[in-house]
């Protein structure tokens, strides 16, 4: 792991830095590159603008590792209201949640109960519910939650991380469920026994896993999402999807708001289905540090943008 990435990931876990950043105007200006605002209204307005440009979106409220079940209840209620707003505005929005937002650290049963309520609401409003993946200590519990959801609801998906050494086995275990899987590279600090350290190893793992998932999508046995900003990988995997004759609607590309926007438009213009992930909320610091750690060169871009008139 590079020194810059390691420092950024360590910073993402600092409550002191998070508190300091939340009170600094320059930090708030920097984060606006990656999110349209802290409140849900800004996220919905951005989704409406992207709909006009032909993009669907995925919304998620930032925040994780809550400390009381009452907080988890409030998050559940927030998302229930969000689904209502999505339907009222007629927007092509899906919703993604973190299990620890819904009380996984406190009660797996309560977390599953909240997720089942949200999956039913997503189904009733004609959209999808996604489970984000957190660090490696949560993988088994998150997979179990997903299995519980998938047994009852069709339009539920899960995120898997290519840099984890265990992910090929996890994919194989999920394929009998005809899953919806968003494959990302991974953005948490993990020991080398758990995750690949080099970009090359992660890229190779990503390609192999995506190839497996696209093969399943070609057989209508998976809904495959390429969650990456690596244009070289996207081009190779898009060509592979064509070779495999993956049908329209069986795979998509998901990219983050504010990152490679020109490439997002180019991919869409080339006939690809591109959906934009929009995050909102006040708990943005850990998420923002992990985004920078994915590509530490982004730090220099942010500094230049802050210094420019």
**Residues with catalytic annotation?**
132, 182
In contact, 289 and 12? CB cutoff 8 Å: yes
Distance CA 54, CA 51 (A): 5
Q: How far is CA 157 from the centre of its chain?
A: 11
Residue 161 · residue 186 · CB < 8 Å: yes
To which H or E segment does residue 281 belong?
A: none
Q: What letter does residue 130 receive in the DSSP assignment?
A: E
The dihedral sign for the CA sequence 244, 180, 31, 54? positive
Backbone angles phi, psi at 90, to 5 degrees: 65, 40
Cβ atoms 102, 62 nearer than 8 A? no
CA pair distance 14, 150, nearest whole angstrom: 35
Report d(CA 115, CA 108) in Å as an integer. 10
List, in order, residues 6 or more apart from 293 with CB less than 8 Å away.
4, 5, 8, 9, 12, 187
In the DSSP assignment, the letter for residue 165 is T
Tokens of 288: 């923002």
* 148-58-15 Cα angle (round to 5): 85
Query: Is the Cβ–Cβ distance between 292 and 4 less than 8 Å?
Result: no
Instruction: Find the helix or strand (DSSP H, E) in which 110 lies.
Output: helix 108-124
């Amino acid at each position: 792991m590079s020194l810059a990435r390691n420092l950024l990931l360590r910073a993402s876990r600092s409550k002191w830095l998070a508190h300091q950043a939340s009170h600094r105007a320059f930090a708030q200006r920097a984060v606006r590159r990656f999110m349209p605002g802290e409140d849900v209204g800004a996220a919905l307005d951005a989704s409406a603008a992207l709909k006009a440009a032909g993009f669907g979106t995925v919304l998620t409220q930032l925040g994780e590792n809550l400390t009381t079940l009452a907080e988890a209840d409030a998050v559940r209620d927030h998302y229930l209201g969000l689904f209502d707003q999505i339907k009222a505005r007629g927007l092509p929005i899906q919703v993604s949640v973190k299990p620890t937002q819904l009380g996984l650290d406190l009660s797996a049963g309560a977390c599953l109960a909240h997720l089942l309520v949200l999956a039913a609401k997503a189904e009733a409003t004609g959209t999808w519910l996604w489970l984000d993946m957190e660090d490696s200590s949560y993988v088994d519990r998150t997979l179990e939650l997903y299995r519980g959801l998938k047994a009852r609801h069709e339009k539920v998906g899960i995120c898997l991380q290519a840099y984890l050494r265990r992910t090929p086995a996890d994919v194989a275990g999920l394929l009998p469920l005809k899953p919806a899987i968003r494959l990302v590279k991974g953005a948490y600090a993990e020991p080398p026994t758990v995750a690949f350290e080099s970009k090359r190893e992660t890229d190779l793992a990503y390609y192999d896993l995506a190839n497996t998932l696209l093969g399943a999508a070609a057989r209508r046995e998976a809904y495959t999402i390429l969650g990456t900003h690596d244009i070289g990988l996207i081009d190779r995997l898009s060509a592979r999807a064509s070779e495999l004759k993956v049908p329209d609607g069986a795979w998509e590309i998901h990219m983050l708001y504010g990152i490679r926007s020109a490439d997002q438009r180019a991919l869409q213009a080339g006939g690809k289905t591109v959906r934009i992930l929009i995050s909102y909320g006040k708990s943005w610091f850990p998420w923002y540090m992990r985004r920078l750690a994915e590509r530490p060169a982004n730090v220099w871009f942010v500094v230049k943008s802050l210094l420019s008139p």
